[in-house]
Structures are given as C-alpha cells and as structure tokens.
Structure 1
C-alpha cells in the first residue's frame, strides 16, 4: 500500500512540473533576458579597460624610450 502511495506522489509531482513551469514561463524568460543583457555589457567594459591599459602602456613605453635617448 505504501509503495502505491509513493508511486502516486511521484506521478503527481512529475505531472505538476510542466504546469508549474508553464505558469512561470514569462517570469523565466524575462529573467533570462535580464541575465543575457548583463552578460553582453560585461565584455564591452572589459574590452574598454584592456584598450585603456594598452594605451597607457604605449604612452609609458614612449616616455621610457625618450629617457634612453
């Protein structure tokens, strides 16, 4: 008898899973869009920082070369 109740409970949980997912689908999609938007902005900032660092290194290299002359 207990096995049948456990099997019934597992079946109900499996059946309700898509319903819960469907009920929250819009919220899930909106959150995924927000996560993706954050992911796009981060590399752009990292590229800008890298370019600024390269420019600074280039300027410092020029000053160093002038000091040797």
Structure 2
C-alpha cells in the first residue's frame, strides 16, 4: 500500500476553511461508522455521504488546484 500526499491550492481563504471543515467532518463520520461496525451496530452513512459530496463540489466547482 502506498501512502500518497495530495496538495490542494485554493484561490480564496473561505474555500480552504470550508474544505477543511468537511474533511474534519468526513474523518469524524468515518470513525463513528467504524466504531459502530466493530460493535455490530448498524450505521447510517447519509451524513458521511453528504459531507463527501460537498467536499467534491468544493474541489470541482471552484478554482482549486490539486497536485
């Protein structure tokens, strides 16, 4: 497995802050989902899916450079 590093450059600070908030939310939801699955509890991934879709929108609809 290769651990990759992605650099994302934003043209405006608010875009960057919003993306960071969604990344934090995604990590939180992944952790919650993993803990629930490990304990045999069902997990509704709607919140996770919504956060991922919002992050994708930010990265694709704005002038963001990904390298």
TM-score range, shorter chain: 0.3 to 0.5
TM-score (norm 2): 0.43
Tell me which of the two structures has the higher relative contact order, counting C-alpha pairs closer than 8 angstroms and 6 or more residues apart.
Answer: 2
Decide which structure has greater strand share: 2
Decide which structure has greater helix share: 1
TM-score (norm 1): 0.42
